[in-house]
């Protein structure tokens, strides 16, 4: 038996990606705010904090060599630092969510090869929202002189594309929204009791998740709160910009909130032929003393703008 957790209605699609190995994408829960207790260890002016580090092993099955690499996810309080593995033209880096910055957090995207970083902060979001509103106004003004038949054609294109912005036609149809299905299958995966979830889009399975309860994970409560905070950050971005506001039209971290657990195994499948593209496995969790600087851009890195001048 499979239980639908959300269905394909009018909402646009999330970006198809691996939860762990493809996180360097530019925009792209019960919130008991459990914080870590500071230790007595000091470094400079910073107080070291007790955090949790998750080791994830990812195997790329889409390449002949099927290369396997390890990566880490660091969690402290509601802050997250996710290591990004080299993937295509993107090099190694990190995606850092710092919940203490701005209104609801900031995201830093670092490029370790170029010693650079990008920031998604309140100023960037406000500027993006202003650009969206400007484009919306221009399109609405352009439509004023159209005939009823022409307006109807544009509105139909808008509905098909999943774009909710009034007067904003789109020539590109976005993929439909995935559906998360909870199955009755249970199994032990790498020492964790798990339940199998499937993610389908347009009748095809694109992802398979083996989920364990947060309580089964050392540091699970902390991770739950941190991912929930990051999910809220991206949900607010999605609501502000609409479907076409950023790649994929939706927030992938919402899946983790919906399944209410940690993915021990994630298998991503090719949407065309159904072949396995990559597999990510939780190998270990460990407590580690973390520095607040772990959740900031590295010293000496140059900030780059995500928007044209």
User: Do 113 and 102 meet the contact criterion of CB atoms below 8 Å apart?
Assistant: no
> Is 214 a member of any domain?
yes
Return the ∠ at Cα 157 (arms to 246 and 140), rounded to 5°.
75
Lowest mean pLDDT among 116-120, 145-149, 210-214, 245-249: 245-249
The CATH code of the domain that includes 140 is 2.50.20.10
Q: Looking at 49-58, 133-142, 166-175, 295-304, which range is the least confident one?
A: 166-175
Instruction: Report d(CA 309, CA 305) in Å as an integer.
Output: 8
**Helix, strand, or coil here: 35?**
coil
Look at the block and give the residue holding tokens 């925009």. Answer: 27
- Residue 266 in any domain: the answer is yes
* pLDDT at residue 53 greater than cutoff 60: yes
| 253 belongs to a structural domain | yes
Domain that holds residue 152: 3-303
pLDDT over threshold 60, residue 68: yes
pLDDT band at 213 (very low <50, low <70, confident <90, very high): very high
Highest mean pLDDT range out of 138-142, 184-188, 225-229?
Answer: 184-188
Cα distances (Å, whole numbers) of residue 216 to 76, 212, 262, 271, 276: 18, 7, 9, 32, 27
Cα gap 267→279, rounded to integer Å: 5
Lowest-pLDDT range, 76-85, 108-117, 204-213, 273-282? 76-85
In this prediction, residues 200-221 reach a mean pLDDT of 91
Q: Is residue 309 part of a domain?
A: no
How many domains, in total, are found in the chain? 1
Distance between CA atoms of residues 263 and 216, nearest Å: 11
Of 18-27, 153-162, 203-212, give the lowest mean pLDDT range.
18-27
Judge if pTM exceeds 0.75: no
- Interhelix angle 122-143/220-241, rounded to 10 degrees, is 30
pLDDT band per the 50, 70, 90 thresholds, residue 142? low
CA distance 269 to 280: 12
End-to-end CA distance of the chain: 53
Tokens of 92: 């190694």
Does the residue 308 lie in any domain? no
172 vs 48, higher pLDDT: 48
- In this prediction, residue 263 has a pLDDT band, given cuts at 50, 70 and 90, of very high
Q: Which of 208, 229, 180 is nearest to 77 (CA)?
A: 229
- Residue 216 DSSP symbol: G
Q: What are the backbone angles phi and psi of residue 304, rounded to the nearest 5°? A: -115, 150
Is residue 108 within 8 A of residue 121, CB to CB? The reply is no
Residue 241: the pLDDT is: 61
Q: Is the pLDDT of residue 167 over 50?
A: no
Distances (CA, A) of 62 to 55, 67, 270: 22, 9, 9
> Phi first, then psi: what are they for 238, rounded to 5°?
-65, -45
Write down the pLDDT at residue 41. Answer: 40
DSSP letters along 250-304, please? S-TTHHHHHHTSEEEEEEEE-TTT--EEEEEEEEEEEEEEE-GGGGSPPTTPEE-
């Amino acid at each position: 038996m499979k239980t639908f957790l959300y269905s394909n209605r009018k909402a646009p699609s999330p970006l198809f990606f691996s939860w762990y190995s493809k996180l360097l994408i530019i925009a792209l829960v019960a919130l008991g705010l459990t914080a870590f207790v500071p230790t007595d260890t000091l470094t400079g002016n910073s107080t070291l904090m007790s955090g949790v580090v998750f080791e994830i092993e990812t195997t790329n099955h889409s390449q002949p060599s099927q290369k396997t690499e390890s990566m880490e996810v660091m969690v402290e309080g509601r802050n997250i630092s996710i290591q990004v593995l080299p993937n295509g033209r993107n090099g190694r880096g990190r995606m850092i969510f710092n919940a203490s910055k701005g209104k609801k957090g900031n995201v830093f995207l670092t490029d370790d090869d170029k010693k650079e970083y990008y920031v998604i902060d309140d100023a960037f979001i406000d500027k993006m929202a202003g650009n969206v509103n400007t484009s919306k106004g221009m399109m609405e003004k352009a439509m004023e002189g159209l005939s009823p038949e022409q307006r109807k054609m544009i509105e139909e294109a808008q509905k098909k594309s999943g774009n909710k912005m009034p007067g904003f036609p789109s020539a590109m149809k976005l993929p439909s929204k995935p559906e998360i299905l909870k199955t009755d299958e249970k199994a032990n995966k790498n020492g964790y009791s798990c339940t199998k979830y499937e993610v389908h889009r347009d009748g095809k399975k694109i992802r398979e998740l083996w989920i364990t309860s947060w309580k089964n994970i050392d540091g699970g409560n902390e991770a739950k709160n941190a991912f929930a905070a990051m999910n809220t950050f991206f949900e607010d971005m999605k609501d502000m910009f609409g479907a076409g506001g950023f790649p994929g039209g939706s927030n992938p971290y919402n899946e983790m909130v919906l399944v209410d657990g940690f993915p021990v195994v994630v298998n991503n499948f090719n949407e065309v032929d159904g072949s396995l593209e990559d597999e990510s496995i939780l190998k270990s969790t460990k407590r580690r003393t973390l520095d607040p600087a772990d959740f900031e851009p590295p010293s000496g890195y140059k900030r780059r703008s995500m928007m044209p001048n």
